[in-house]
Amino acid sequence: MKLIFKSIVFLFLLVFSSGKMWSQSTTVVLKDNWSFSKEVKEDAFAVDFDASKWEKVSVPHDWAIYGPFDKKWDIQTGIIEQNGEKEATEKTGRTGALPHIGTGWYRNTFAIQEFKKGKKALLIFEGAMSEPQVYLNGKKVGQWGYGYSYFFIDISKDIIEGAKNTLAVKLTNEPFSSRWYPGAGLYRKVSIVVKEEESFAQWGTFITTPDIKANNAVVDIKAEFHGSNVSMVTQIKDANNKVIATQKSTETKEGKFHQIVEVAKPHLWSPETPYLYTAVTKLYAADGTLKDEQNIKFGIRFIKYEPKTGFSLNGKVTKFKGVCLHHDLGPLGAAVNKAALRRQLTILKDMGCNAIRSSHNMPSFEQLELADEMGFMFLAESFDEWAKPKVENGYNRFFKEYAEKDIVNLVRATRNHPCIVMWSSGNEVPDQWGAEGVKRAKWLQDIFHREDPTRPVTVGMDQVKATMESGFGALLDIPGLNYRVHLYEEAYKTFPQGFILGSETASTVSSRGIYKFPVVQKKNKQYPDFQSSSYDLEACSWSNVPDEDFVLQDDKPWVIGEFVWTGFDYLGEPTPYDEKWPSRSSYFGISDLAGLPKDRFYLYRSRWNKEDKTLHILPHWNWKGREGEITPVFVYTNYDSAELFINGKSMGVQKKNNATPQNRYRLMWNDVKYEPGTVKVVAFDSNGKIAAKNEVKTAGDPYKIVLNADRKTIKANGEDISFVTVSVVDKNGIPCPLADNELQFKVTGSATYRAACNGDATSLEVFHQDHMKLFSGKLVVLVKAIETAGTIQLEVTGQGLQKGKINLKSERQ
């Protein structure tokens, strides 16, 4: 299938794999037996180096997340051009105020009995932060630059057969190398794959369909391999593991097998129906010996981008209801954990989100596997910098040597995921200015097209006027606008594509459970407590509140969707307090760093989730000292009208209208005066009948600790986590929204205490200690399974409070 990317219309008919492969080859994940140190000499790669006193760790590992928080770690003085700054200022929490700067060494000793001379051995890194230098048995076998890239090293000639091998990895994080918390260490999986010489090439299989109809889909499989006189047999299995199609091939061209396999009555993949098939591909020698095998989960779906109507999935016009996500997982740092990722996506699914943008780097394999399985479209991003720097030691140092290699690895490793619907080659790059930037944009886009001619490419542009003048925006497959809502109309008329993507939107700031008075819409508003108001009316100089984007999404069919900044708070970049200490994480999240929803969550849910009722009241109703003062009440709901009652007295009926963007999407009673008691809201359907009710009550003194787990049964695999929300209620069971008690945590049985997080961007409490203060009445405790199944108990205590207990269990997989 040949696609011309200069055209305005894109029609992509594809079958995509999940990217996860099990093979006849041996795969050894190097999870345990690692030693780590930041206090070593350059000879730590030597085989006989004594690492007996190093810290024992498992990988994935983030050395910096254990703290302590301190502004000294990466004080940056400079101008953030993306924020419209004109003068240099000191930034104290921009990279999370965690000790990620410096050099760390990892060592592992392993033996792989399956390796014999004549076989191939590949050492695969899924993420190493950063600038990894890799040594095997005292010899340097490879290195890389970009800390977010996946890469592999052929160690076939260096691995010792039938004996122990010593792997040493040196990682270096330079100061002034990131705009957010990058993490540190081997933060994603490391593995070794042992193959026959005759085998499938690593990341060399690509599956598409040139045609999809109601009765059949044509599956096109191109598989690179090593060897000669081999054949390939493919079986397609449905979700019930039933074989529904088979084909054998002996002819090859340019080192690839090419098969066309028909699937009858295909189930199409979508966020609503994330149906996955499996392709079993087997490589045979001439004598019939099985040499290699891949089991590839995949989904069938087709996408289309057209002028005016925008994006469609499987023939249905679909808007991106997306969020941007940084790669850190709050109290776990950058160390990837599938349970934490699944919890994030579960929360986003409930909100009605249907798409994710990896910001501003390559996503983890685990995240893409979950997006395939749970039904999220994906914008996979590559870089935050090109040749021109944003920070002194950023990706600009590697761009010339590594950009093409990094894109090739990104695309080949992940192009078979059904969730990915577009690529991004950059975010707010300074190269948007001038002719050189146009050349770079085209060069990068051409690499994406060469490696994957089936998906379009975008760039998140913030210098929209400049890209209109230079031709930068016109050459992109998809013009992505970061904010700049006032330029959408002009950009639509100027750019030839016929549609606009909100590649980054809103950047509204708020702190969970914190409300400021008077309630007014403000830019760059700061307060003495370094928090932002959860009335959701505060943004940055360059950003806006959600409702302004909602208007564009709803009224302009040529706006194909949005990716909100951000789905969850993240470590670092504490705008608007990046010059204030102690602020060390963001305020942008729809949910906080602990994964607890802010009020804004329900604003998006009321618009995005069409299946469930939303009726949310803010603020809380504990305002001692504000008696008789104006205390506005907002309601976020998917119903058009509602009546508000304060202690049984009606405050009137409000109906959504077009007077302002806020009136269109929120119900607001701006003249309510505070009196303790009960706030009740009654929502009406389109016929004026009562459809839903909700209420908030004034709480008394904190009395009892309450625990609620996202999952009570976890896997006994040493990795699974139960996230337990801890809150405090009064004697009547009413949540206490102002509680800030310090609590202690104790885990017994078949699990360990891993961390806690309260979502407070100003807290300097270390995540892994067994105590923490509540923030706005809540925090989250992470209980991590060990490899022994059994019962688990979490006990939470606090002075003067009735303790909380919850029983969990872990089971064998």
Residue-level pLDDT at 183 = 98
- Tell me if 479 sits within 8 A of 498, measured CB to CB: no
Q: Average pLDDT, stretch 9-15?
A: 45
Q: For 483, which DSSP code?
A: S
The answer, yes or no, to whether residue 86 has pLDDT greater than 80, is no
Q: How confident is the model at residue 82 (pLDDT cuts 50, 70, 90)?
A: low
For residue range 223-262, list pLDDT tens digits in order: 999 999 999 999 999 999 999 999 999 999 989 999 999 9
Rounded Cα gap, residues 84 and 417, in angstroms: 37
Instruction: Note the pLDDT of residue 76.
Output: 79
Q: What number of other Cβ atoms are within 10 A of residue 323's Cβ?
A: 28
Residue type at 452 in one-letter notation = D
Residue 139: is its pLDDT beyond 80?
yes
CB atoms within 10 A of CB 148: 27
Residue type (1 letter), 267: H
Query: How sure is the predictor about 364, in pLDDT bands with cuts at 50, 70 and 90?
Result: very high
pLDDT of residue 79: 72
d(CA 654, CA 531): 29
Whether 333 has a pLDDT exceeding 90, the answer reads yes
In this structure, which long-range contacts are made by residues 270-275, counting pairs with CB atoms below 8 Å and at least 24 apart in sequence? 270/301, 270/313, 270/314, 270/375, 271/354, 271/355, 271/375, 271/376, 271/377, 272/375, 273/375, 274/299, 274/372, 274/373, 274/374, 274/375, 274/418, 275/239, 275/299, 275/300
Which range among 79-88, 340-349, 796-805 shows the weakest confidence by mean pLDDT? 79-88
Do 26-64+100-195 and 319-508+542-608 share a fold?
Answer: no
So what's the pLDDT on residue 308?
A: 84
pLDDT band of residue 718 (cuts 50, 70, 90) is very high
The pLDDT, as a whole number, for residue 10 is 45
Extract the tokens encoding 275.
Answer: 């149906």
Residues 551 and 534: beta-carbon distance below 8 Å: no
- Distance (Å, rounded) from C-alpha 740 to C-alpha 758? 10
Q: What is the mean pLDDT of residues 183-207?
A: 97
Tens of pLDDT, residues 26-46: 899 999 999 999 999 888 999
Average pLDDT over residues 436-446: 97
> Which of 37-41, 265-269, 750-754, 776-780 is least confident?
37-41
CATH architecture of the domain covering 704-811: Sandwich (2.60)
| Across 16-20, 389-393, 489-493, 500-504, least confident range | 16-20
Contact 92, 71 (CB under 8 A): yes
Q: Which helix or strand (DSSP H or E) is residue 420 part of?
A: strand 420-427
What's the confidence (pLDDT) of residue 92? Answer: 86
For residue 208, pLDDT over 90 is answered with no
> Residue holding tokens 């002075």?
799
pTM attached to this predicted model: 0.96
Residue 813: pLDDT band with limits 50, 70, 90: confident
Q: So what CATH class is 10-17+198-303?
A: mainly beta
pLDDT of 527 over the 50 cut: yes
* In contact, 57 and 190? CB cutoff 8 Å: no
Q: Is 340 left (phi over 0), alpha (psi -120 to 50) or beta?
A: alpha
Give the model's pLDDT for residue 81.
Answer: 67
Residue-level pLDDT at 24: 65
Report the range of poorest mean pLDDT among 74-88, 468-482, 611-625: 74-88
Distance in angstroms between the alpha carbons of the first and the last residue of the chain: 42
Q: Look at residue 84 and tell me whether its pLDDT is greater than 90.
A: no
Query: Which one from 428, 451, 538, 719 is the annotated catalytic residue?
Result: 428
Q: Give the pLDDT of residue 13.
A: 47
709 pLDDT higher than 60:
yes
Q: Span 642-655, mean pLDDT?
A: 98
Q: How confident is the prediction for the chain on average, in pLDDT?
A: 94
Query: Could you tell me which residues come within 8 angstroms of residue 318 by beta carbon, excluding any fewer than 6 positions away?
Result: 311, 312, 354, 561
CATH code of domain 623-697:
2.60.40.10
What SS3 state is found at 752? Answer: strand
Closest CA to 330 of 586, 53, 49, 100: 586
Is 272 noted as a catalytic residue in this protein?
no
What would the mean pLDDT of 659-664 be, rounded to a whole number? 98
Whether residue 90 is predicted with pLDDT greater than 90 in this model: the reply is no
Are 23 and 292 in contact, with CB atoms under 8 Å apart?
Answer: yes
Q: Does residue 20 surpass a pLDDT of 50?
A: no
DSSP state of 786: -
Give the CA angle between residues 181, 183, 189 to the nearest 5°: 145
> Right CATH number for 319-508+542-608 from 3.20.20.80, 2.60.40.420, 3.40.640.10, 3.20.20.70?
3.20.20.80
418 has which bridge partners?
none
Catalytic residue among 504, 538, 573, 765: 504
Cβ atoms of 571 and 593 closer than 8 Å:
yes
- Secondary structure (H, E, C), 130-146: CCCEEEECCEEEEECCC
Residues 6+ apart with CB under 8 A from 161: 115, 116, 117
Listed residue (591, 584, 570, 693) closest to 642, CA to CA:
693
**What's residue 292's pLDDT?**
96
Q: Which of 43-47, 345-349, 523-527 has the lowest mean pLDDT?
A: 43-47
Answer with the residue of higher pLDDT: 14 or 742.
742
Asked if the model's pLDDT at residue 267 lies above 70, the reply is: yes
CA–CA gap between residue 777 and residue 737 (Å, rounded)? 5
Delimit the domains of the chain by residue range.
10-17+198-303, 26-64+100-195, 319-508+542-608, 623-697, 704-811
The per-residue pLDDT for 228 is: 94
| CA proximity to 772, closest of 799, 802, 735, 740 | 740
Percent of the chain past pLDDT 90, that is, above it, reads 92
- pLDDT-derived band at 21, boundaries 50, 70, 90: very low
CA dihedral 243, 247, 250, 253 (to 10 degrees): -110
Give the total residue count for the chain: 813
Nearest to 723 by CA among 811, 774, 782: 782
Q: pLDDT tens digits, residue range 152-171?
A: 999 999 999 989 999 999 99
pLDDT at 685: 95
392 is catalytic: no
For 26-64+100-195, CATH number out of 3.40.50.720, 3.40.50.970, 3.50.50.60, 2.60.120.260 equals: 2.60.120.260
% of the chain exceeding 70 in pLDDT: 96
| pLDDT recorded at residue 784 | 98
Q: Answer yes or no: is pLDDT of 4 > 60.
A: no
What span, in angstroms and rounded, lies between the C-alpha atoms of 714 and 785?
7
At residue 286, what is the residue type?
A: A
Beta carbons of 290 and 24 less than 8 angstroms apart: yes
